[in-house]
Amino acid sequence: MKPLEQDAAHLWDMLDAARQAMAFSDELTFDQLLNDALTRYAIERTLEIIGEAARRVSPETRATIADIPWQGIIGFRNVLAHEYGAIDYDRLYTVLKDDLPELIHTLDHALSQIGERS
């Protein structure tokens, strides 16, 4: 697989996981997030997938999609995966409600651009 194709696959993984997280959290209140372990763990896992896929995107492609906070996404994944006792659920909820819609939009656009180049 060519590097651009690999990056497109990772971007698609990010997009798919972001959409899943949005579906899991649709109309979810903060209190519901805290009290529903199954949904909370599902959301945490989708955010881990986003971060892991982001880590695998090449530096060249990351540089061309500067609207994505790559280091923040990867760092948040590391907290979820390795420091789960220190998860800031206020931050997680903000990511769900404020950051994911924009990430989805940016990834959709980036993938359409990559499709036009191939």
Q: Which residues are catalytic?
A: 77, 82
Q: How many CB atoms within 10 Å of residue 74?
A: 18
**C-alpha distances in angstroms, 36 versus 41, 42, 43?**
9, 10, 11
**Cβ 44 vs Cβ 80: under 8 Å:** yes
**Cβ 56 vs Cβ 31: under 8 Å:** no
**C-alpha distances in angstroms, 94 versus 22, 54, 73?**
12, 19, 13
